[in-house]
Structure 1
Amino acid sequence: MPMQRIHAFVAATVLLAAGVQASKAAEAVPATLQPPAGYTLAFTAKAKGMQVYTSAAEGGAAPKWVLEAPVAELTARQGSFHHYAGPSWEAADGSKIVRDKDTPVVTVPARKAGTDIPWLLVKVTADPAAGVLSKIGYVQRIETHGGVAPATPPVRTDTKVGVPYTATYAFYAKTN
C-alpha cells in the first residue's frame, strides 16, 4: 500500500475512533440532564478546583459537612473561567452567569457516587454585559471526579475543608 494511502487510512481510523468516543460520551449523559429544545452546545470547559464544605449543627445535633461553595478554574478554547458560589461562572472578558434561583437544579448521581459529586443541569441568567457567556442559558456539570464531603464527620462546627474535584462543564446557548 503506498505511503499516502496508509496515512489516509490511519487518519480516517483516528477520526472514526474519535467520533465513536464523542458519541459514547454524549450518550453517557442522562436525558434528564439535557437542556430543553432550543438550546445548543456552545462550548465545553475542563474544571479543576475544590468543593468547600463547612461543618454545621442544627438543633443540638452532631456537626455534619454542608457544601459552602465550589471554587474552580475552568479552561476552554474560549478562554479561562472562574467558578464560585452562586453557583456563578465568570469569564476573563468580564461576562458572567449565575444560577437562576427560580429553576430547580437537576441532579443525577455520578457513576461513583461515593467519591464523585453529582452531575448537574443548571439554568443560568447572564449578566447583561456582552462577552463569551452573554448568550448562555444552561450549564451542565458532567464527568465529575472527587469533591464529595469527607466520610468522617467533623468534630466541631465552623470547620472548613476543601475537597479536590475535576469535571467537565458544558455551556448551552439559546438557538436563534
Structure 2
Amino acid sequence: MNTRQLLCHLGTALSATCLMSAMSLAHGQTNLPDPIKVPSGHKLVLESVGVGEITYECRDKANAPGQTEWFFVGPKATLNDRDGKMLGSYFGPPATWQAKDGSTITGTQLAVAPSSSGNLPYQLVKANPAQGKGAMTGVSYIQRVATRGGVAPGLACTAANKGQREVVNYQADYLFWAAN
C-alpha cells in the first residue's frame, strides 16, 4: 500500500503527522488500545477494508423475562484492498473470512475495545487454522479497526416488533497477522 492510497482511504490531509499516525496504526500498533494489540512476534500480512452490512433481530433478552433487545445475527461484507479491488468476503456466523482464492479462516474473539460513538468496537480475533491453501494460510490474528457504523439499530426493540430484522451498514479495516 502506498502513502497516497492510505491517506486517501483515511480521508485526511497530507501531512507528516498524519502519515506517521496512519502508518503507526497499521504497522506499529502504538495507537491501538492495549486489549486489541497483536502479540509481538507477528507481522502484518494482509490489509483489507470490509464494506457491508450487519443484520440485527429484535429478540427476547437472555435471562431477562419480558425484556427485549437487538441481537446480532451476522455480518456480510466484501473485503477490498485500498484501491477498491475485491480480495474476498466476510460473513457469519461463525465469523468467517474468505479470500478470493477460496482459503478461509474462522476465529474466536479475544478482546474488544471501544471505538468512537456510533461505531462497532475494535476487535482482536485469534484465527483457527486456515481451510484451503492461499491468502489465509498462516494467519494467526485478525484485527478490526477504523470502524464506521454497524451498531444496533436506534429503533425501539419491544414485544410489539419482536422478530423484526434490521440491516445496518458498516465499514471496518481488517488486518491479518501471521507469526514471523
Pair 1:62–1:156, CA change in 2 (3 A): farther
1:109 to 95, 108, 114: 114
Conserved 8 A contact 1:63-1:153: no
**RMSD between superposed Cα atoms in Å:** 2.2
2:57 is aligned with 1:51: no
Partner of 2:20: 20
Report the alpha carbon displacement of residue 27 of structure 1 after superposing the two structures with TM. 3.1
The gaps in structure 1 that reach 5 residues or longer are 1-13
Report the alpha carbon displacement of residue 35 of structure 1 after superposing the two structures with TM. 1.4
1:1-176 equivalent positions in 2, closer than 5 A: 16=16, 19-23=19-23, 25=25, 26-58=29-61, 60-76=65-81, 79-85=86-92, 86-100=94-108, 104-112=109-117, 115-154=118-157, 155-175=160-180
Separation in structure 2 between the aligned mates of residue 119 and residue 72 of structure 1, nearest angstrom = 16
Conserved 8 A contact 1:79-1:91: no
Report the alpha carbon displacement of residue 129 of structure 1 after superposing the two structures with TM. 1.5
Conserved 8 A contact 2:111-2:123: yes
Write the letter of the residue equivalent to 1:76.
Answer: D
Report the alpha carbon displacement of residue 42 of structure 1 after superposing the two structures with TM. 0.8
Conserved 8 A contact 2:79-2:87: yes
Report the alpha carbon displacement of residue 128 of structure 1 after superposing the two structures with TM. 3.7
Greater Rg over alpha carbons, structure? 1
Pair 1:79–1:72, CA change in 2 (3 A): closer
TM-score normalised per structure 1:
0.79
Report the alpha carbon displacement of residue 17 of structure 1 after superposing the two structures with TM. 5.7
Identity %: 25
Residues 76-119 of structure 1, C-alpha deviations (whole Å, 9 max, x = no match): 2795211111111001101000014xxx520001122xx10100
Conserved 8 A contact 2:49-2:81: yes
Q: What is the number of residues matched between the two proteins?
A: 157
TM-score normalised per structure 2:
0.78
